[in-house]
A and B are shown apart, each in its own frame.
Chain A
């Protein structure tokens, strides 16, 4: 359960970073090049944490089914 919460939080934060990055560029806080890097990196983390969350969820469902 804790792991699920942690992964959900981390994936949520990654997605928020994706969304925040164009605002930083728009407000002149980062350059266009850096915005694209931030977006790429945050996207990578989103896919990593969200996929892990889905995998664990699936494994838990399978083990619940076995019991």
Chain B
């Protein structure tokens, strides 16, 4: 068991070999590049769904604006004060930094968890694209309560789109990435144009003098759609904060910020949070209200901008599913020995395609995003504890690396234990990650403090856990 796991970790190390060394100073990037990256990355297909869901969940205008302002601010501060400082000090990716602390074995588990979560996310994006193509073929999209496929048409459509996206990702991931760069400013404009064009349908005058009155009564009225839970300011605030939890608190954006000249570059994430999420979610909220509160991104965009709008939803799903498929493939490569890149991407794509048939991932996207962040969050707490708090408490850092351990048992206990506690917390799903994060942070430090006090000697170097 230990030997086969060692082989897996060796293979994984080879995969990530190219970024093993800390980034050299001559490769650091300018702030403008970070601003562009964030602005482009945070206007995706899922934005069509998230903003619309806030309307369906009966968020009031006051709660929406305040929640988005504060939530996005907290996200920006998380990037700036948690992720960027660690990245600029170490100049390493999370993969290599976590390996020092948790051991290569835990890294494998983390990668596999990430791969599965990526596949589900890409599946949700295929679902969004399917709503656009469904218009052409007259296929009904699933209702908000559907877990399993509701019609054969939906299954055929998602399978066809999934296979198409997979084949295109296999044929040319890099070309598609360049195409995505071309698409992102246009998709951003599509959101704004679509919302503006649908304002007259809601009764907004050309001079916008009654905009806020209409927004309060016809868009963010504070009344939830039938069967939908009522959301308040705290829900919006927490959602905006944890929407990219795996990236900032979970530290996976260390891969990005290791190229930053200084930690304050974390503030450039505001371009993605305010220029992207904030505006896009407001725009999709307007669009869904204008089509009678029906969760149908394809129809929303078609009504807002005609053929270009429907094409925009399809393209947005495609261009955001593509890198997600690539990342899932990369993470899956650890368990597929000697497989070429295309074969791994194909496998990830097929798994994603099957998952995309299940509408639950698309119609329950907000809950899924919360679970995604929650699952990976304890890893961020472990890295934060080891980076900042271990020196304060005079605890030896990187014990897994120094003792050549395959697993850091305490890290694994903290990860699983935190998730177990979070699953039983009597709180709304959106709020569970924060106490969970504090718990993981304290538990990880405490376990090491206790061990230090016990004066236990380092275990045998080949011992597992």
Contact = CB atoms under 8 A, between A and B. Distances in A.
Interface string B400-429: 000000000000000000000000000000
A39 B308 contact: yes
Interface string A32-67: 100111011001001100110010001000000000
A46 B190 CA distance: 12
Contact of B182 (A21, A32, A35, A54): A54
A40 B194 CA distance: 12
Interface string B192-212: 111011011000001000000
Contact of B206 (A18, A21, A27, A51): A27
Chain B, interface residues (CB within 8 Å), range = 20 to 34
Given A46-B186, A54-B178, A40 B196 contact: no
Given A15-B189, A39-B306, A22 B182 contact: no
A43 B182 CA distance: 11
Which one of B178, B197, B206 has the greatest number of beta carbons of chain A within 10 Å? B197
B185 A22 contact: no
B193 A39 contact: yes
B193 A58 contact: no
A23 B192 CA distance: 10
A55 B309 CA distance: 25
A41 B181 CA distance: 20
A32 B196 CA distance: 12
B179 interface: yes
B193 A18 contact: yes
Contacts of A19: 189, 192-193
Interface string A4-31: 0000000000010011011101111000
Contact of A40 (B197, B199, B200, B307): B307
> Secondary structure at chain A's binding surface: helix, strand, loop or mixed?
helix
Interface residues of A, number: 23
B273 interface: no
Which one of B192, B206, B308 has the greatest number of beta carbons of chain A within 10 Å? B308
B235 to A, nearest CB: 30
B305 interface: yes
Contacts of A50: 182, 185-186
A51 to B, nearest CB: 5
Contacts of A43: 186, 308, 311
A36 B303 CA distance: 10
Contact of A26 (B178, B186, B200, B305): B200
B185 A15 contact: yes
Interface in B233-263: none
Interface of B: 178-179, 181-182, 185-186, 189-190, 192-194, 196-197, 199-200, 206, 305-309, 311
State the 10 A-B residue pairs at the shortest beta-carbon distance, nearest first: A36-B306, A22-B196, A22-B197, A22-B193, A40-B308, A50-B182, A43-B308, A18-B189, A27-B206, A39-B308
Given A18-B190, A39-B306, A46-B186, 6 more contacts: A25-B196, A26-B206, A39-B193, A39-B305, A50-B186, A54-B182
